[in-house]
């Protein structure tokens, strides 16, 4: 049975407007604080094919690895800590685990290890943790968060040994695991990879040409944006271009989703999607190249970029716990203009904390 109107979960959308020329703009840090991204969607109006410099960056996102049935205690391996974790920018996430039912693990680039565990697993592990923020009547899930770079977690130390023993001898937690390293640091992962069944993956890039696309009239950054929720719904419909139309009448029985007013029609637009374990540093490079694209003198338009986080990641923004009961949304959408200004929408689902 579907939820009634009074049960519709809330969502949080934070809206920001700034300029890349403003030294106080926070975009770079906001991108860095969203570490686990599975999809980037770019919409280029009045464009039929991506220029070479954009096409290059679309196809140069960092590769990532899938390790099958990785024992989680291996993330505490001394060599792995010294060659990868302590040097920073390691990203790891359990694969196809559900945050509302399974044990989920995330290794963040700042060296924090987050374990989201069911009650039985938490009690067997026997280390300090805290109840999940998303428990309801009873504490059925717990979160263990450990800073692997802290002196108390140095190999051989008391805290390190207790966690290692719990993962190696008591809980024996295993999971398929996605792993990546910033800036060609894959060599630091080879010792770990060599002990297990693994495969290397390149992010998947796809593009679609759209014709006669109705767009909100956002041709200049001086115009006020339409309602953020309506704009994000429209972007989502464009991204799901195969099955959703924005040309419905307002009294349509099937769908009332329409392009927000005021609107214009562009004869053609290019939609590009990149899927995989996508690093914030690669997204930063893409944003820079989009800015270069918008500097073309004959182009007075905008470009949108939307970044979706993994629905079942234990964390969303920064170190904030992520929870899923209905949607699991955690994403941001960036509108870039030719005058170096931008609009930023940061969104979470019903139960996450407010984005930064």
Do residues 74 and 26 share a domain? Answer: no
> Which of the pair, 7 or 183, is modelled with greater confidence?
183
- Average pLDDT on 102-127 reads 95
Would you say residue 354 lies in a domain? no
Q: Indicate the DSSP class of residue 256.
A: -
Do residues 54 and 84 share a domain? Answer: no
Would you say residue 315 lies in a domain? yes
Q: Which tokens belong to 233?
A: 């719904």
Would you say residue 234 lies in a domain? yes
Give the E-state strand segments of 20-89 in sequence order. Answer: 37-45, 64-71
Do residues 230 and 184 share a domain? Answer: no
**Element spanning 190, H or E:** helix 190-193
Would you say residue 353 lies in a domain? no
Q: Indicate the DSSP class of residue 74.
A: G
CB 138 within 8 A of CB 154: no
**Residue 90's closest CA among 39, 36, 40, 144?**
36
Would you say residue 356 lies in a domain? no
On the 0-12 / 13-18 / 19+ scale of CB atoms within 10 A, 297 is: exposed
Q: Which tokens belong to 33?
A: 């604080």
Would you say residue 229 lies in a domain? yes
Structural domain harbouring 154: 64-201
> 201, 235, 268 — which closes off a domain?
201
Q: Report d(CA 117, CA 97) in Å as an integer.
A: 11
Do residues 230 and 334 share a domain? Answer: yes
Do residues 144 and 14 share a domain? Answer: no
Would you say residue 22 lies in a domain? yes
Do residues 208 and 340 share a domain? Answer: yes
Do residues 98 and 214 share a domain? Answer: no
Q: Report d(CA 254, CA 240) in Å as an integer.
A: 16
Whole-number pLDDT of residue 218: 61
CB 103 within 8 A of CB 118: yes
What pLDDT, in 10s, does the model give residues 166-215? 999 999 999 999 999 876 666 789 999 999 999 999 999 999 999 888 88
pLDDT at 2 over 50: no
Residue 82 phi, psi (nearest 5): -70, -40
**Is beta strand 330-337 parallel, antiparallel or unpaired with respect to 302-309?**
antiparallel
Do residues 26 and 95 share a domain? Answer: no
> 154, 169, 201 — which closes off a domain?
201
Do residues 216 and 250 share a domain? Answer: yes
Q: Report d(CA 179, CA 90) in Å as an integer.
A: 7
Q: How far is CA 7 from the centre of its chain?
A: 27
Whole-number pLDDT of residue 109: 92
Do residues 186 and 284 share a domain? Answer: no
**What domain count does the chain have?**
2
Q: Indicate the DSSP class of residue 310.
A: P
Whole-number pLDDT of residue 294: 93
Do residues 174 and 233 share a domain? Answer: no
Whole-number pLDDT of residue 180: 94
Q: Report d(CA 285, CA 56) in Å as an integer.
A: 11
On the 0-12 / 13-18 / 19+ scale of CB atoms within 10 A, 89 is: buried
Q: Report d(CA 23, CA 322) in Å as an integer.
A: 31
Do residues 213 and 340 share a domain? Answer: yes
- The residue whose two tokens read 């716990």 is 321
Q: Which of the four pLDDT bands, split at 50, 70 and 90, describes residue 251? A: low
> 171, 201, 231 — which closes off a domain?
201
Q: Which tokens belong to 98?
A: 């559900």
Q: What is the mean pLDDT of the chain?
A: 86
Would you say residue 355 lies in a domain? no
């Amino acid at each position: 049975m579907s939820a009634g109107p009074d049960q519709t979960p809330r969502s949080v959308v934070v809206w920001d407007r700034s300029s890349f020329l403003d030294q106080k703009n926070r975009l770079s840090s906001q991108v860095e604080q969203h570490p686990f991204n599975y999809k980037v969607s770019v919409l280029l109006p009045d464009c039929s094919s991506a220029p070479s410099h954009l096409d290059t960056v679309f196809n140069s996102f960092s590769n990532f690895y899938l390790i099958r049935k990785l024992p989680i205690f291996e993330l505490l391996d001394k060599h792995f800590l010294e060659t990868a974790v302590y040097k920073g920018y390691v990203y790891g996430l359990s694969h196809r685990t559900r945050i509302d039912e399974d044990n989920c693990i995330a290794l963040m680039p700042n060296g924090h290890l987050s374990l989201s565990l069911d009650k039985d697993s938490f009690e067997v592990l026997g280390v300090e943790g805290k109840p999940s923020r998303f428990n309801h009547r009873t504490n059925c899930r717990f979160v263990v968060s450990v800073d692997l770079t802290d002196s108390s977690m140095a190999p051989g130390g008391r805290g390190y040994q207790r966690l290692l023993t719990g993962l190696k001898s008591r809980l024996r937690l295993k999971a398929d695991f996605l792993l990546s390293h910033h800036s060609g640091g894959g060599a630091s992962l080879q010792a770990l990879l060599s002990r297990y069944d693994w495969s290397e993956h390149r992010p998947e890039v796809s593009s679609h040409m759209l014709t006669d696309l109705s767009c909100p009239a956002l041709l200049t950054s001086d115009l006020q944006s339409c309602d953020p929720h309506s704009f994000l719904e429209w972007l989502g419909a464009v991204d799901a271009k195969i099955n959703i139309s924005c040309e419905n009448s307002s009294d349509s029985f099937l769908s009332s989703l329409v392009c927000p007013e005021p609107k214009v029609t562009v004869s053609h637009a290019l939609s590009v999607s990149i899927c995989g374990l996508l690093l914030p540093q690669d997204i930063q490079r893409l944003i820079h190249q989009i800015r270069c694209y918008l500097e073309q003198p004959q182009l007075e338009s905008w470009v949108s970029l939307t970044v979706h986080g993994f629905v079942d990641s234990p964390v969303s923004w920064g170190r904030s716990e992520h929870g899923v009961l209905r949607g699991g949304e955690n994403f941001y959408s960036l509108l870039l203009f030719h005058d170096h200004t931008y609009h930023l929408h940061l969104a979470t689902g019903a139960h996450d904390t407010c984005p930064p």
